[in-house]
Amino acid sequence: MKRLVEGILVAGCVVAASSLCGCSSAARGALGDGNAAAFPPDSAGNDADSPDDADSSLGPSPSGQCTQAALVLVASDAGDDGGDDGGLECGTAGVADLVAADTAFAMAFLPVALVDDGAIAENAVVSPYSVSSAMMMVDVGAEGETQSQIESVLSLPGNGAAEASASSGLVCALQAAGSSNGNSLSIANSLWGQQGVSFEAPFLDVLATGYGAPLQTVDFAGNPTAAVATINAWVSQATQGTISSPLGSQDITELTRLVAVNAVYFKGTWAMGFNPSMTSPRPFTLANGKPTTVSTMSGLISAGVGATSALLVVELPYRASSGSSLAMDILMPTGGSAGLAAFESALTPATLSSALASLHGRFMYTIQMPKFSFGTRIELQPVLAALGMSDVFERGVADLSGMDGAMDLYLAAVVQQAMVEVDEQGTVAAAVTAGSSGCALIAVEPPPPVQIDRPFFFLIRDTGNGAIVFMGQVVDPGE
């Protein structure tokens, strides 16, 4: 019999514009050796008061899941139109270029967002894809230097309007890869505007038809509390209740004029999982070299395993019926390396591609992997500004005139909230023939265990087109 493990990831990004920078300050949650023979056995800026504890807005979540919400708030210096309600069109044109752009942004985003003064402080999970998706919607209404900075930081091949079809094509591809054989991946955008404010028709039409985000109106000015409740309810529904309150009362004021939201939800089941009866306390070496003991899963798993001179690479696939599928990739610097912070700081699309290229197909291994669960809330204005996207946050400088025809809008904040939970579900599925994967299980001696027992970096990605949906770091699985 085969045991299954479920994994759920949810992400959301909200962008809001108002005349006040009413955004909460960053409250970032945190996202051994014995692997020498891990190869096949055969020959084949302006902070407001701190928000409540990030965990308080994370609803109950099933085992092995990840949820994320990111908020972009746009503000106005000034004291309803509805766009076309068209839907997303699925196509392949431009998707590969957009995936490359998203990967470049993710690799630039990673060290700025997660590495603190050259060190790794805590567990963390983020979705650069969600941030990029939300900021692409902002870029549709940006002009001049503001537009140039957004597109440069996101590494976009073209502006937000020109890339709308590629964005919708990528959404279709990801949802097809992540929503088969019992898995569920949903990606949703929404746009919320102040009642009675006139927004430019081209801006609204592109967001409605290209990003699936037709304008919905609320009364930020007259009742910001109700507006917060309405948007939070949408996010909760889009993330299956795993993120229930990404916006707080401090995030929305009577001067807020526009909120753009991107939400990503993924619930996946390992192709092969871990028997809960095999889970036990095992050693884990922290970044400072101090040993600790954490709850560790263990099982005979069909996985991809590879290595470089200083890195162990493990790929655990999620179930798929056909075609491409999603997988979790774990990249763990080994004991003799410079460590996780140095690895993440030096990571580029090329070095990531090289590490993943070391994977040797999929064979049966005994995988020993910690269980982990944590949440992250991060204020992204300083991160994006450090990467070169500063004008859009500066009152009187930001040019978002493509949204309302004036120079009165700027981004008050970009906030992302995420949650990840990975453990063994223990669900029993139908028996599977051992030889169905094409691997002949005739080795006289099993391969040594693959031990994930040091701080590591992880990705959730589409193995078909390479798109990264989530990424994070596990520094101490026991926290």
**271: amino acid identity, one letter:** A
Residue 163 buriedness (CB in 10 A; 0-12 / 13-18 / 19+):
buried
* 8 A C-beta contact, residue 413 and residue 23: yes
CA distance 199 to 229: 23
Q: What is the mean pLDDT of residues 11-37?
A: 41
Q: What is the mean pLDDT of residues 188-213?
A: 90
Cα 32 to Cα 28, 286, 291, 310, distances in angstroms: 27, 10, 10, 13
CA distance 340 to 457: 7
Find the helix or strand (DSSP H, E) in which 411 lies: strand 409-422
Tell me what the pLDDT averaged over the chain comes to: 77
- Quick one: pLDDT at residue 152? 98
User: Is the model's pLDDT at 2 over the cut of 50?
Assistant: no
Q: What is the mean pLDDT of residues 135-163?
A: 95
The sign one gets for the Cα dihedral 175, 423, 182, 355 is positive
User: Is the model's pLDDT at 167 over the cut of 60?
Assistant: yes
* 8 A C-beta contact, residue 141 and residue 402: yes
* 8 A C-beta contact, residue 173 and residue 462: yes
- Quick one: pLDDT at residue 135? 92
How many CA atoms, within 13 angstroms, populate the side-chain half-sphere of residue 186? Answer: 14
User: Is the model's pLDDT at 203 over the cut of 90?
Assistant: yes
* 8 A C-beta contact, residue 111 and residue 344: yes
User: Is the model's pLDDT at 141 over the cut of 70?
Assistant: yes
CA distance 392 to 411: 6
206 — pLDDT class (breaks 50, 70, 90)? very high
Contacts (Cβ under 8 Å, ≥6 apart) of 337: 310, 311, 343
What pLDDT, in 10s, does the model give residues 414-428?
A: 878 888 888 775 222
User: Is the model's pLDDT at 163 over the cut of 90?
Assistant: yes
* 8 A C-beta contact, residue 247 and residue 231: yes
- Quick one: pLDDT at residue 138? 92
CA distance 195 to 235: 20
User: What single string gives the DSSP state of each residue in 114-136?
Assistant: H-BTTB--S-EEE-HHHHHHHHH
Q: What is the mean pLDDT of residues 143-161?
A: 96
Find the helix or strand (DSSP H, E) in which 168 lies: helix 164-178
Domain ranges, ordered by start, for the chain: 2-31+47-269+373-421, 281-372+441-474
CA distance 173 to 429: 27
- Quick one: pLDDT at residue 321? 63
- Quick one: pLDDT at residue 25? 29
* 8 A C-beta contact, residue 95 and residue 165: no
CA distance 77 to 411: 11
96 — pLDDT class (breaks 50, 70, 90)? very high
Give Cα 444 distance to the centre of its chain: 41
84 — pLDDT class (breaks 50, 70, 90)? very low
* Nearest one of 158, 160, 114 to 135, comparing CA atoms: 160
Place of tokens 């089941």: 269
CA distance 158 to 265: 27
What pLDDT, in 10s, does the model give residues 272-316?
A: 888 889 999 999 999 888 999 999 999 988 899 999 988 999 999
User: Is the model's pLDDT at 19 over the cut of 50?
Assistant: no
**330: amino acid identity, one letter:** I
CA distance 102 to 150: 13
Give Cα 328 distance to the centre of its chain: 12
Q: Which residues pair with 372 in a beta bridge?
A: 422
- Quick one: pLDDT at residue 336? 64
Output the CA angle 280-286-292, nearest 5 degrees. Answer: 40
Q: Which residues pair with 188 in a beta bridge?
A: 263
**Strand stretches in 270-396, DSSP E:** 280-285, 291-308, 311-317, 326-333, 363-370, 372-379
Domain 2-31+47-269+373-421: CATH architecture, name and number where available: 2-Layer Sandwich (3.30)
What pLDDT, in 10s, does the model give residues 63-72?
A: 455 444 444 5
Residue 293 buriedness (CB in 10 A; 0-12 / 13-18 / 19+):
exposed
Write the class of the CATH domain 281-372+441-474.
mainly beta
Range with top average pLDDT, 167-181, 281-295, 311-325: 281-295
- Quick one: pLDDT at residue 72? 56
- Quick one: pLDDT at residue 446? 57
User: Is the model's pLDDT at 166 over the cut of 50?
Assistant: yes
Q: What is the mean pLDDT of residues 143-164?
A: 96
* 8 A C-beta contact, residue 127 and residue 70: yes
Would you state the structure tokens that stand for residue 151, as one six-digit string? Answer: 């597109």
Cα of first residue to Cα of last residue in the chain, in angstroms, is: 32
Q: What is the mean pLDDT of residues 365-374?
A: 91
Would you state the structure tokens that stand for residue 351, as one six-digit string? Answer: 């070095």
Give Cα 321 distance to the centre of its chain: 24
- Quick one: pLDDT at residue 109? 94
Would you state the structure tokens that stand for residue 394, as one six-digit string? Answer: 């500066």
**Three state DSSP letters for 359-378:** CCCCEEEEEEEECEEEEEEE
User: Is the model's pLDDT at 5 over the cut of 90?
Assistant: no
* Nearest one of 395, 418, 406 to 45, comparing CA atoms: 395
57 — pLDDT class (breaks 50, 70, 90)? very low
* Nearest one of 379, 132, 98 to 260, comparing CA atoms: 132
Would you state the structure tokens that stand for residue 24, as one six-digit string? Answer: 């909460």
3-state secondary structure of 38: coil
Q: Higher-confidence residue: 120 or 310?
A: 310
